[in-house]
Amino acid sequence: MTEKRILLIVTGGIAAYKALELVRLLKRQGIAVRAVMTQSATEFVTPLSMGVMTEDQVYGDMFDLKEEREIGHIQLSRQADLIVICPATANILAKMAAGIADDLATTILLATDKPVLAVPAMNVRMWQHPATRRNLAQLKADGVTVMDPDEGAMACGEFGPGRLPEPPAVAERICAMLGHGFDATLTAGRASTSAPAALESQPDFADITHRPLFSKRIMVTAGPTYEAIDPVRYIANRSSGRQGFAIAAAAAEMGAEVTLIAGPVHLVTPPGVIRIDVENALEMQAEVEKALPTDVAILVAAVADWRAADVPQQKIKKDGKGIPPLILTENPDILASLAAHKQRPKLLIGFAAETEKIIEHATAKLAKKGCDWIVANDVSGDVMGGDNNAFHVVTRNGVESWPDSPKDVIARKLMEKIADEIA
């Protein structure tokens, strides 16, 4: 029997935390779950927790270039046997009934040809409101299956229908719709899913509240930038993005809400990390601005210092008139502009790739860029693209030099120092 797959859309209600339990139960039944979270769902449940439970990337932003190119909204629904919205707020029911598609979740729902199960949860008055009644009637007429909410005391203090059914009941309903047997004995106890290695040492990987960076927002930039010369040529550098990705992974493992703004690299998104792909320095700067406010920003990206002053619409041809001049203009310094920003992160960290006089150059860069720390590394060997790195962490209080270590190990060490600093 081929594995059944559901696409779980989580919307923003107080019951969203129950979606984590639902994922656990479904996985125990042998059902694969991929999750999409609306923006407001992330106010109730972190993408990190959801990513740990689904052991997959969590999808959220319609305009994430990588997702749109590689796993667009059509493909997300194509890969699923059933789409489940749990919890489904009054808001998403209204949008579905009206055919509105203004984010990834609603776009998937408008574009899909797969069966859809909505599991509403809302305040009793919202549930009973004529608008919601109308929307539900419309959705049922459109072929959406609606699982009626439970009755009882609600988180908002009222009593009546509107409570999300208990996760085992939702899991059973999903199994029935998939034609997949439901083993009730599998609903008790802890998940058998394996957590990422770094989380296994935690007393309970599903509970992230005890982790050192829980609820902290951290932005990381990584990789190179590509600066177009014409539609087919570009200026680039040798950054692999691996150190930045390792830092983002370590931050997420320690409980932070991580936004990773990545230049063009071929790397897997670490679990629980929100990734935004960009191509050039100007795009990176715009996404950095959008990610504010954050508690910490770690700018690991090797941003190109210059870009072509003019990028023609057509490919530059050999026209026999000699070599065309390449006129460059300076890119904005993202780190320096963040240092001067009115929403400057409390801890701002830059990286310095140096081939000589490492500490001296890093110390000068700390002052010039106005950041709090510079992590300097010697790139005279094969660091760019290699497995290991050695860091010199330059702060106003001095320099700490850490020995050559694998990039994930040194990333965790850096995140521990950051956790100590902002605790």
Q: Catalytic amino acids?
A: 156
Output the smallest distance, CB 383 to ligand CTP, in A: 13
First-to-last CA distance in the chain? Answer: 50
Interface pattern 208-237 for ligand CTP (x via CB under 6 A): -------------x----------------
Ramachandran class of 37: left when φ > 0, alpha when ψ lies in -120 to 50, beta otherwise: beta
- Tokens representing residue 386 in the block: 């290699």
Per DSSP, helices labelled H in 232-357 are 242-253, 281-291, 334-339
Among 303, 339, 366, 414, binds ligand CTP (CB under 6 A): 303
Near ligand CTP by CB under 6 A, which window of 20-28, 30-38, 109-117, 326-334?
326-334
Near ligand CTP by CB under 6 A, which window of 27-35, 41-49, 229-237, 344-352?
344-352
Contacts of 53 (CB under 8 A, 6+ apart): 20, 23, 24, 27, 33, 191, 193, 206
Among 104, 251, 273, 335, binds ligand CTP (CB under 6 A): 335
Among 26, 274, 350, 407, binds ligand CTP (CB under 6 A): 350
Measured from the CB atom, the residue of 110 and 328 that comes closer to ligand CTP is: 328
Output the smallest distance, CB 378 to ligand CTP, in A: 12
Concatenated DSSP letters for 96-117? HHHT---SHHHHHHHH--S-EE
Give the residue among 49, 151, 156, 142 at the shortest CA–CA distance from 96.
142
Q: Look up tokens 């780190």; give the residue.
A: 335
Q: Give the Cβ contact number of residue 172 at 10 Å.
A: 17
The CA-atom distances, in angstroms, between 354 and each of 308, 373, 379 are: 24, 15, 6
Q: Is 301 in the site for ligand CTP (CB under 6 A)?
A: yes
Near ligand CTP by CB under 6 A, which window of 24-32, 301-309, 311-319, 387-395?
301-309
Output the smallest distance, CB 76 to ligand CTP, in A: 32
Among 68, 279, 295, 305, binds ligand CTP (CB under 6 A): 305
Sign (positive/negative) of CA torsion 122, 126, 131, 137? positive
Near ligand CTP by CB under 6 A, which window of 23-31, 109-117, 232-240, 349-357?
349-357
Among 334, 366, 379, 418, binds ligand CTP (CB under 6 A): 334
Give the residue among 260, 288, 345 at the shortest CA–CA distance from 51.
260
Q: Is 281 in the site for ligand CTP (CB under 6 A)?
A: yes
Output the smallest distance, CB 394 to ligand CTP, in A: 12
- Tokens representing residue 234 in the block: 């570009």
Among 299, 339, 384, 411, binds ligand CTP (CB under 6 A): 299
Output the smallest distance, CB 328 to ligand CTP, in A: 13
Q: Is 352 in the site for ligand CTP (CB under 6 A)?
A: yes
- Tokens representing residue 65 in the block: 């270039």
Q: List residues binding ligand CTP (CB under 6 A).
A: 221, 281, 299, 301, 303, 305, 331, 333-335, 350-353
